[in-house]
Amino acid sequence: MTVIVRQTVRIAIDGPAAAGKSTVAKRVADKMSFTYVDTGAMYRALTLKAIQADVPLNEENKLMSLLSQTDISLIQEGTRQQILLDGIDATLHIRADYVTNNVSTIAKLPRIREEMVKRQRALAENNSVVMDGRDIGTYVLPNAEVKVFLNASVEERAKRRHAENVKKGFSSNIEQLKHDIKQRDLVDSNRSIAPLIKAEDAIEIDTTSLTISGVVQRILKLVYNKVNGL
């Protein structure tokens, strides 16, 4: 399905870790020629820099100082996005386990989220975007024209993350991934600021038994119906 849009449309895609958000969001953005904004990559980039700089991940004042001196750029090339951290390609490094297992600690800090949300909203201010994360439809872009909540079983999400790690050459243990995903779900769902929850007006899609193309087509149909008043 091809959807031609002549108005500004914001698509918010939320869901837990490894539900397929980034992969789906990239393809939807590519098919619609929208800007893709990976909000999780922004938090991952700061986490990576904090670890490299030996900044404690629970000391908000020091992290805010670090963030104020940090440039995070998202460069889109078709369905591939390059993450530049202070001008250096960090695309692969931000997906390492030691970043994945610590990003929720930084992402739950109120002032860090406030600054990141400012940057994210600025990207969507006058542009049609596909933005994915955990609080896009509820907090970052509450007025998004299309809201989707992707979900999948823990087992399926662990399998996907394992395959992704193996493909990228990272060490990976599927049982450990199941544990890590459950823990991350718990942290993300219970944080005090903008927790992981489905927006009331979001359409939930269980991706467990769906192909990526199948999910993309469903979202494109939602956009088509929205812009055509159906």
Query: Which residue, among 223, 226, 224, has the nearest Cα to 130 in the 3D structure?
Result: 223
Burial class of residue 84 in the structure, from the number of CB atoms within 10 Å of its CB (0-12 exposed, 13-18 middle, 19+ buried): middle
User: Using one digit for the tens of pLDDT, what is the confidence trace for 63-79?
Assistant: 999 999 999 998 877 66
pLDDT computed for residue 192 by the predictor = 81
User: What range defines the domain where residue 117 resides?
Assistant: 10-214
- Within a domain: residue 184? yes
Inform me whether the pLDDT recorded for 84 exceeds 90.
Answer: yes
State phi, psi for 85 to the nearest 5 degrees.
-110, 110
Residue 103: how many CA atoms within 13 Å on its side-chain side?
25
Confidence of residue 3 (pLDDT cuts 50, 70, 90): low
- Within a domain: residue 227? no
The predicted model scores a pTM of 0.82
Inform me whether the pLDDT recorded for 120 exceeds 80.
Answer: yes
The enclosing domain of 27 has a CATH number of: 3.40.50.300
User: Using one digit for the tens of pLDDT, what is the confidence trace for 15-60?
Assistant: 998 899 989 999 999 999 898 998 999 999 999 999 999 999 999 9
Query: Which residue, among 216, 200, 198, has the nearest Cα to 22 in the 3D structure?
Result: 216
- Within a domain: residue 5? no
- Within a domain: residue 230? no
Domain count within the chain: 1
- Within a domain: residue 110? yes
Inform me whether the pLDDT recorded for 203 exceeds 90.
Answer: yes
